[in-house]
């Protein structure tokens, strides 16, 4: 099977820990071939969705801490997306209008016979923070609004809350507002742009000190281990990008209960790979653009996450 990755520039990837690279390696190990394209390489000509794509191969034994882990095997050429056996959308956020346009083009390509994972419309229709509201009974008390008065009332009720932008990633823009937060007004004015931008507020979950767990769902099944991103001392955010330490651990009974509810529903919508963020007993995000933590879980537990992905892709693409 010829697999196209729509991805960020390959030289920018940290191949030794990048989940997309782990996917590539697992696919090559199973005999598949690879090409890549950037988001800006997508185009529509005479109604046909195409990509300026470049065939590549992975360099055996390459130092994954360097940049010579792949090489081009032919010049880039324009290829209709329907000619690939599978297309993997792994462009990282920001989820801006260019990203939205890409999902539209990929959706049109699907109508022309292309097999896109994750499903283009499903990616677009599952904003990663807002998506938890579909599973409100699995989430901590949550408010989504641009109305600062409502947020202040929510804060007064729960007295310890997290506020965050809807389009942030890696822990950016997240604030903890405790009962006596002296900068409450300034923080809310900044995050909401004085009431012009919608944000999310959630009751603070004290179990964050035990880690913000990433639970991977692949092909409608939960990987049996999560990666608990444990915050630095004095830090509220567990994100690895914010200095959190990743510790793999078996799923708890509650983790399995959450996965049993969420996984089949999202898989039925064409979401082959999903990353649930869980703190304590609560889902806090549903990541569908480019979920990570494949390598960390595999290295610490021996469970072949990327191999499980490759097998799930083969099943889904046939």
Quick one: 223 and 184 in the same domain? no
Strand partners, 36: 5, 54
Among 204, 237, 253, identify where a domain stops.
204
The pLDDT, as a whole number, for residue 233 is 63
* pLDDT above 60 (res 237): no
Please give the residue that has the higher pLDDT: either 210 or 302: 302
Q: Which residues are catalytic?
A: 129, 164, 214, 229, 237, 277, 285, 287
d(CA 179, CA 248) in angstroms, rounded, equals 33
**Are 302 and 226 in a shared domain?**
yes
Q: Are residues 104 and 7 in the same domain?
A: yes
For residue 195, the enclosing domain spans 141-204
**Are both 7 and 117 inside the same structural domain?**
yes
Q: Is residue 130 in a domain? A: no
How far CA 277 is from CA of 2, 67, 128, 195, 247, in Å, comes to 32, 31, 10, 27, 14
Torsion angle, alpha carbons of 235, 237, 241, 245, to 10: 70
Last residue of a domain, one of 91, 121, 151: 121
Q: Is residue 184 domain-shared with residue 231, that is, in the same domain?
A: no
Alpha-carbon distance of 121 to 271, in angstroms, equals: 10
Residues 313, 217 share a domain: yes
- The answer to whether the beta carbons of residues 125 and 100 sit under 8 Å apart is no
161 domain-assigned: yes
As for how many domains the chain has, the answer is 3
* Among 204, 234, 255, residue at a domain's last position: 204
- Digit-coded pLDDT (tens) for 68-102: 999 999 999 999 999 999 999 999 987 889 999 99
One domain for residues 14 and 95: yes
Find the CATH number of the domain harbouring 171.
3.30.1490.20
Contact of 166 with 128, CB cutoff 8 Å: no
Under the banding of pLDDT at 50, 70 and 90, the label for residue 231 is: confident
Are 9 and 102 in the same domain?
yes
In a domain, 293, yes or no: yes
Q: Residues 188, 217: one domain?
A: no
**Which among 233, 274, 265, 240 has a CA at the least distance from the CA of 117?**
274
CATH number of the structural domain spanning residue 109? 3.40.50.20
pLDDT in tens, 138-161: 999 999 999 999 999 999 999 999
Residue 129 maps to a domain = no
d(CA 8, CA 30) in angstroms, rounded, equals: 24
In a domain, 133, yes or no: no
**CA dihedral (92, 254, 139, 227) positive or negative:** negative
- Domain contains 270: yes
């Amino acid at each position: 099977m010829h697999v196209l990755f729509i991805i960020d520039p390959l030289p920018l990837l940290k191949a030794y820990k990048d989940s997309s690279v782990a996917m590539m390696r697992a696919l090559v190990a199973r005999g598949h071939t690879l090409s890549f394209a950037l988001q800006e390489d997508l185009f529509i000509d005479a109604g046909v969705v195409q990509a300026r794509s470049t065939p590549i191969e992975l360099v055996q034994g390459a130092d994954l801490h360097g940049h010579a882990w792949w090489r081009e095997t032919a010049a880039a050429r324009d290829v209709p997306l329907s000619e690939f056996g599978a297309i993997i959308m792994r462009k990282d956020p920001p989820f801006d209008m260019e990203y939205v346009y890409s999902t539209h083009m990929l959706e049109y390509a699907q109508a022309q016979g292309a097999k896109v994972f994750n499903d283009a419309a499903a990616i677009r229709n599952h904003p990663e923070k807002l998506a938890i509201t579909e599973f409100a009974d699995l989430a901590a008390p949550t408010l989504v609004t641009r109305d600062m008065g409502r947020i202040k009332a929510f804060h007064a009720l729960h007295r310890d809350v997290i506020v965050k932008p809807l389009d942030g990633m890696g822990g950016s823009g997240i604030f903890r507002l405790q009962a006596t937060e002296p900068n409450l007004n300034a923080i809310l004015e900044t995050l909401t742009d004085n009431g012009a931008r919608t944000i999310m507020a959630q009751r603070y979950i004290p179990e964050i000190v035990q880690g913000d767990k990433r639970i991977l769902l692949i092909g409608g099944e939960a990987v049996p281990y999560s990666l608990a991103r444990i915050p630095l001392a004095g830090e509220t955010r567990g994100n690895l990008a914010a200095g959190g330490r990743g510790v793999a651990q078996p799923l708890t009974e509650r983790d399995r209960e959450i996965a049993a509810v969420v996984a089949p529903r999202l898989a039925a919508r064409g979401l082959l790979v999903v990353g649930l963020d869980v703190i304590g007993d609560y889902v806090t995000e549903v990541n569908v653009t480019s979920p990570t933590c494949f390598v960390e879980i595999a290295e610490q537990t021996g469970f072949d996450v990327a191999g499980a992905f490759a097998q799930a892709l083969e099943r889904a693409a046939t």
